[in-house]
Amino acid sequence: MKTEKKEKGREYEVFSQYLKDKELKLTAQRELILETFLKHHGHISAEELFQKSREKQAHVGFATVYRTLKHMTQCGLARELDFGDGRIQYEPELDRQHHDHMICTQCGTYIEFLNPQIEELQDQVSKQHGFKITSHRMQLYGLCQKCQKTKK
Amino acid sequence: MKTEKKEKGREYEVFSQYLKDKELKLTAQRELILETFLKHHGHISAEELFQKSREKQAHVGFATVYRTLKHMTQCGLARELDFGDGRIQYEPELDRQHHDHMICTQCGTYIEFLNPQIEELQDQVSKQHGFKITSHRMQLYGLCQKCQKTKK
DNA sequence: GTGCATGCAAAGGCTTTGCATACCA
DNA sequence: TGGTATGCAAAGCCTTTGCATGCAC
């Protein structure tokens, strides 16, 4: 017989385990925010996550969303992205392969990609400088196929 | 005989030409901020640039620094950097070769580097996706040699 | 029952904007 | 002289924090 936890997915397990370890509590809000976040599939800002969560349950506060996002980031469920537009974007991270982004500066769409050769070279470069990499960000900015036709 | 403009360097020429083209004015403040910026040699935040400029001339305002930085970015004299710490850093750009950064998350020092192979691969990847790159950012985060010894 | 979590609102950083005055061209 | 630039302060964003109350454990 399946347990309730398994039905809710591995993310739920990771999150509740993290909370337990830190002697934090699993509240209805935290659960709701996590679910909403996972259901979104893709980048989302704190603001948007707040909106979507609130659609389901009226009494969710801004602050709680921010606080919960911090926790989710801490336990590896979410990853912070900075596309340089002044707001932090979050994306689901667990079990996802690392990847980088190509961002269209006109329409805002993005393409995710992973290039093993680049990853390899990043390691090499850091070793040459005696640097110990823990993470990296790479964003390519430009125009997507559509926008290349549309403008100019 | 050298002209005054030449003595002040190419950046000065670029800036004053840009201002002329846009029918903007070359004011004492803009000159001061540009000089201060160039003299700094390295990354600097708007806040720091404001401080340093003010040391030389008491009456320089925050807003003017921000406004001038925007202009300098527009005409290619400065480049915006986002190290993910919530504030924009600026660095001199003119005649500087493009480069990326390795940032120590403990002490904040950074190493600049350029890896032609990575640049090449970035172009390749974008072409594969029909994407037209105009710029990119790449930051490697981790620990520098010193900090690896200091802390775990 | 105890202590963390919540929601609200207020405060915090950084950046931009509005406005009357000052100054370049 | 006319229109931009400036400095100041206030407003704007996004995010964090303080506090009394509520709720998980």
pLDDT (tens digit, 9 = 90+) per residue, B91-105? 998 878 889 999 888
Residues with Cβ within 8 Å of residue A135, at least 6 apart in sequence: B140, B141, B142
What is the rounded distance in angstroms from the CA atom of residue B78 to the CA atom of residue B63?
17
Q: Please check whether residues B33 and B88 belong to one and the same domain.
A: yes
| Rounded average pLDDT over A61-68 | 96
- Select the more confidently predicted residue: B7 or A136: A136
Instruction: Answer whether B130 sits within 8 Å of A140, measured CB to CB.
Output: no
What is the per-residue pLDDT for B84?
75
Q: Please check whether residues B82 and B145 belong to one and the same domain.
A: no
What is the per-residue pLDDT for A57?
85
Nearest CA in chain A to B138: A138
pLDDT digits (tens, 9 = 90+) for B59-90: 899 999 999 999 999 999 999 988 877 889 99
Strand C, nucleotides < 7 Å from a protein CB: these are 3-10, 13-18, 23-25
pLDDT at position A51 over 70: yes
Q: Please check whether residues A20 and A85 belong to one and the same domain.
A: yes
Q: Please check whether residues B142 and B74 belong to one and the same domain.
A: no
pLDDT at position A63 over 70: yes
pLDDT-derived band at A3, boundaries 50, 70, 90: very low
Instruction: Answer whether A104 sits within 8 Å of B131, measured CB to CB.
Output: yes
Q: Please check whether residues A72 and A123 belong to one and the same domain.
A: no
Nearest CA in chain B to A126: B102
Instruction: Answer whether B142 sits within 8 Å of A121, measured CB to CB.
Output: no
Dmax over Cα atoms in chain A, in whole Å? Answer: 61
Instruction: Answer whether A141 sits within 8 Å of B122, measured CB to CB.
Output: no
Judging contacts by C-beta atoms under 8 Å, the chain B residues touching residue A118 are 118, 121-122, 125
What is the per-residue pLDDT for B7?
57
pLDDT-derived band at A151, boundaries 50, 70, 90: low
Could you list the protein residues whose CB lies below 7 A from any atom in strand D? A 19, 25-28, 45-47, 62-63, 66-67, 70, 86-88; B 19, 23-25, 27, 29-30, 59-64, 67-68
Q: Please check whether residues A79 and A27 belong to one and the same domain.
A: yes
What is the per-residue pLDDT for B52?
94
Radius of gyration of chain A (CA): 18
Instruction: Answer whether A137 sits within 8 Å of B142, measured CB to CB.
Output: no
Domain of residue B24: give its range: 2-92
Give strand letter and number of the nucleotide nearest B26 (CA to C1'): C24
Q: Please check whether residues B40 and B63 belong to one and the same domain.
A: yes
Q: How many CA atoms lie within 13 A of A87 on its CB side?
A: 10
Q: Please check whether residues A84 and A104 belong to one and the same domain.
A: no
pLDDT-derived band at B117, boundaries 50, 70, 90: very high
pLDDT-derived band at A109, boundaries 50, 70, 90: confident
**Cβ atoms A91, A44 nearer than 8 A:** yes
Q: Which of B65, B92, B119 is the last residue of a domain?
A: B92
What is the rounded distance in angstroms from the CA atom of residue A99 to the CA atom of residue A116?
10
Q: Please check whether residues B12 and B54 belong to one and the same domain.
A: yes
Q: Is B62 exposed, middle or buried (0-12, 13-18, 19+ CB in 10 A)?
A: exposed
* DSSP tag of A84: S
| Dihedrals phi, psi of B87, to nearest 5 degrees | -130, 150
Nearest CA in chain A to B83: A82
Average pLDDT taken over every residue of chain A:
89
What is the per-residue pLDDT for A105?
82
What is the per-residue pLDDT for B108?
79
